[in-house]
């Protein structure tokens, strides 16, 4: 079948984009014709040539959403059997919903998390959720969620067409590998206002506590965005500037070096309404690295039950510091956690398995 994906931006800029990239690769491998239309941006050289990709010039952003006035016409001109779009980026999702209705083609929506914001962005989100979101959810033939216990107040009226499909991981691409040392702790996120919920500020506070026991502890921060300079200043003001290095944008082919070059991965996310499944901890686990995450992560229960890392409460800098210290000070514990994490990634989280489940959703709608 012909499948058209519409993320907001080009690959390798965030979790949703990584989701689209990996799902598209698997669907192509299963014999489907997959296209992607999205805004341009970093990562264009990372595109799988088997995926028919069109990038459109972004004319700016509202919160986390890239705006492109050419998107509606570009979508209408495409030939597809299924249109698969994604939230929480309204522009691309809402135009996808409208075009699917005009062309009488099924729409599948992956609902990664709620649309929320602060200040004026929060007001816009409130208005959107009361209006356009309802139309989009009504238009979708199937709504995919990546967390089994994810309960959004906006989805309660559509339970009959909600499908749980966990994310996957390419365990061949992400694997244990010799790599030059990068640091002790690795953190990866887009560094902008919208993604503050990823918890870098809490991680900084925990690092300050850890420095009392491990003066030379090193945190590597991957990603770029408009808050980069703010985070640099924050680290300096906390007295941990010499303990933090900012790696900038990391291409997907280089990520494995950072996962393997650090001793653990930390993602202390703080907002359950914004945090989705959390694919980057899964990538770290596939590289046999222990992870420290908060209880709101989609795979937190699995991590806790199998012993692949440690799970702490949101915004608990003391518990976060204690958990990371325990791992960094015990190589045997870190090794056992890493091995269990990779076993979990291989056994439960496969992109082929996810793609097959999503393919079944597509076929139900055709």
How confident is the model at residue 297, as a pLDDT? 86
- Residues β-bridged to residue 35: 4, 52
Report the predicted TM-score, pTM, of the whole model to 2 decimal places: 0.76
Q: State pLDDT tens for residues 128-166.
A: 999 999 999 999 999 999 876 566 889 999 999 999 998
What is the mean pLDDT for each group of 10 consecutive residues in the chain (366 residues)? Answer: 90 74 94 93 67 86 76 96 95 96 98 83 87 96 84 88 90 92 96 92 98 98 96 98 97 92 98 80 96 92 95 98 98 98 92 94 97
Residue 80 to residue 122: CA distance in whole angstroms: 34
Q: Which residues of 272-302 are buried (b: 16+ CB within 10 A; e: fewer)?
A: bebbbbbbbbbbbbbbbbbbbbbebbbbbeb
How confident is the model at residue 167, as a pLDDT? 84
How confident is the model at residue 64, as a pLDDT? 65
Specify the domain boundaries for CATH 3.40.50.2000 within the chain. Answer: 2-168+350-365, 185-348
Strands 65-66 and 61-62: antiparallel
How confident is the model at residue 14, as a pLDDT? 63
What is the CB neighbour count within 10 angstroms for residue 121? 16
What is the CB neighbour count within 10 angstroms for residue 130? 10
**Among 290, 143, 121, which Cα is nearest to 197's?**
121
| CATH for the stretch 185-348 | 3.40.50.2000
Instruction: Quickly name the fold that domain 2-168+350-365 has.
Output: Rossmann fold (3.40.50)
How confident is the model at residue 106, as a pLDDT? 98
Segments in 33-119 forming alpha helices (H): 71-77, 90-103
């Amino acid at each position: 079948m012909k499948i058209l994906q519409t993320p907001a931006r080009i690959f390798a800029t965030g979790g949703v984009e990584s989701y689209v990239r990996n799902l598209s690769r698997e669907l192509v491998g299963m014999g489907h014709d997959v296209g992607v239309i999205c805004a341009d941006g970093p990562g264009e050289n990372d595109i799988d040539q088997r995926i028919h990709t069109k990038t459109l010039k972004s004319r700016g952003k509202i919160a986390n959403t890239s705006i492109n006035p050419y998107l509606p016409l570009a979508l209408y001109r495409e030939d597809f059997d299924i249109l698969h779009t994604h939230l929480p980026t309204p522009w691309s999702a809402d135009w996808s919903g409208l075009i699917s209705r005009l062309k009488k083609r099924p729409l599948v929506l992956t609902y990664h998390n709620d649309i929320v914001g602060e200040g004026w962005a929060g007001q816009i989100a409130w208005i959107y959720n009361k209006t356009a979101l309802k139309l989009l959810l009504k238009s979708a033939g199937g709504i995919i969620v990546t967390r089994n216990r994810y309960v959004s107040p906006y989805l309660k009226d559509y339970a009959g067409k909600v499908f749980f499909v966990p994310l996957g991981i390419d365990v061949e691409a992400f694997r244990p590998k010799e790599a030059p040392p990068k640091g002790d702790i690795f953190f990866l996120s887009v560094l902008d206002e919208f993604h503050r919920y990823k918890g870098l500020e809490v991680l900084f506070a925990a690092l300050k506590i850890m420095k009392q026991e491990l003066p030379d502890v090193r945190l590597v921060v991957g990603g770029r965005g408009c808050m980069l300079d703010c985070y640099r200043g924050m680290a300096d003001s906390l007295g941990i500037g010499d303990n933090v290095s900012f790696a900038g944008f990391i291409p997907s082919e280089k990520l494995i070096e950072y996962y393997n070059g650090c001793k653990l991965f930390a993602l202390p996310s703080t907002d359950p309404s914004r945090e989705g499944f959390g694919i980057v901890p899964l990538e770290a686990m596939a590289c046999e690295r222990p992870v420290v995450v908060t209880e709101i992560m989609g795979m937190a229960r699995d991590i806790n039950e199998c012993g692949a890392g440690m799970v702490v409460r949101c915004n608990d800098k003391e518990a976060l510091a204690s958990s990371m210290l325990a791992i960094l000070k015990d190589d045997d514990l870190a090794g056992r956690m890493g091995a269990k994490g990779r076993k979990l990634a291989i056994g439960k989280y496969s992109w082929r398995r996810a793609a097959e489940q999503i393919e079944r959703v597509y076929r139900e709608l055709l």
